[in-house]
Amino acid sequence: MKTLSQLSQDLATGKTTAEKLVQECLARIADPSGEGARAFIKVYADSALAEAQASDAARRAGRVASPLAGIPISVKDLFDIGGEVTRAGSVILADAQPAASDAPAIARLRAAGAILIGRTNMTEFAYGANGMNQHYGTPLNPWDRASRRIPGGSTSGGAVSVTDGMAAATIGSDTGGSVRIPSALCGITGLKPTQRRVPLEGAFPLSFTRDSIGPLGSSVGCCAWLDAAMSGEPIATPAARPLRGQRFGVPKTILLDGLASEVSTSFARALTSLSAAGASIEEFEFAELARERDGSLRANFSAVEAYALHRERLATSAGKFDRRVALRLMAGAEMKAADYVDLLKLRADLMASADRTTARFDALLAPTVPVIAPTIVEMDSSDEVFFRNNGLLLRNCAPFNVLDRPALSLPCHRTGDAPVGLMVIGETMGDNRLLALGQSIELALSTNR
């Protein structure tokens, strides 16, 4: 996988063309032995080629919209594209009204010259961390396709589109880890930004309290470029911050419990690499995480807010939903309004308290996901196993949506091993500082892979 910076340089020097990049992506999508049919819900073959030809002509004339110009990317099926129905990985919305215009995040990427190669598969209505979809199939994890492992979700097709070279990068959403989880399980990089930095309009919601829009790519720099474009900032690679003297906190509360051996080994090795680079690492109790867990057991933002959104569809057309998605949605009907109000108050308190607790650190470190990717057979063995594993996949990521902290997931496993993500968590609205740190962490980890 080439980075966006490398592709941009190749385009600038004439080593490749936008048309060639698009043709290569389309060939991989169409490969009958590949995952294109499961990774994509819709492919923009004709329009992508036309846009690529126009981009090449503009470049020859000296007009280049941005460093992203001419680079093919994919977008999750929950984003509005003008003139198209936004299905959000469902079949129940097939007859909905087409979107009047592109979602602002997508419009900004188009304005920067990025080329949309297609809409990617996802867990229905983004409600699940596993990446499975009974309507459109489940794209297989690139690490161990023989065992048919899940890709993670809900941005499942997007992650696989990047690992398999069907897109140079992708745009997803993250409500409880839906960017970071597939990034970790598939061995790529993903960013959950501070929520308000990227406009949510035109992205089909799951939880208006916790939703955010973020990129997945092959490097921290890729994520930084796409995040900058979507947030309306100048597109540039952040200057790396030296690791020597940086203070990293490792929360002992919940996030290190019951790690799979592969995750524990890779995480420990990552900490050793960062320490060797001069960073100081301190384990600490993060009591706010336990308070968040306890509060979310009584009422859960996603459950309540998603049920409110889908309750009429559930009442009239429940059979058109993925059965397990419907079960999770219906759980919101049992939650009490008073508990939801308490959760809103708790969130405000936790955000302020967590800021004080972590103020002495430059960033926090944790495994993105406590387990490696389960197999589809295991996930389908029973509802009990399915929901237990889904909860484990979400466990480490979801609290930072409640706290509204930006968070990166970077691969920290050795080549050939099961993919494992290192989550690097910053301060609210400290996204650019986090990305600068991420650049240095990425380099330190790459020497040990």
Q: Give the residue numbers annotated as catalytic, written as ranges.
A: 76, 154, 178
Instruction: Pinpoint the alpha helices (H) of 358-395.
Output: 376-379, 383-395
Nearest to residue 413, comparing CAs of 422, 402, 426, 405?
Answer: 422
| 245: exposed, middle or buried (Cβ count in 10 Å: 0-12, 13-18, 19+) | exposed
Q: What is the CA 377 to chain-centroid distance, rounded? A: 24
Place of tokens 């807010």: 305
d(CA 160, CA 96): 27
Please, what sign has the CA dihedral across residues 55, 61, 65, 68? positive
Q: How many CB atoms lie within 10 A of CB 205?
A: 18
CB-CB contact of 70 with 21 (8 Å): yes
**76: β partners:** 120
- What element of type H or E holds 247? strand 247-251
* Beta-strand relationship, 72-76 and 169-173: parallel
Alpha carbons within 13 angstroms on the beta-carbon side of residue 398 total 25
DSSP letter string, 291-354? HHHHHHHH--HHHHHHHHHHHHHHHHHGGGS-HHHHHHHHHGGGS-HHHHHHHHHHHHHHHHHH
d(CA 120, CA 85): 14
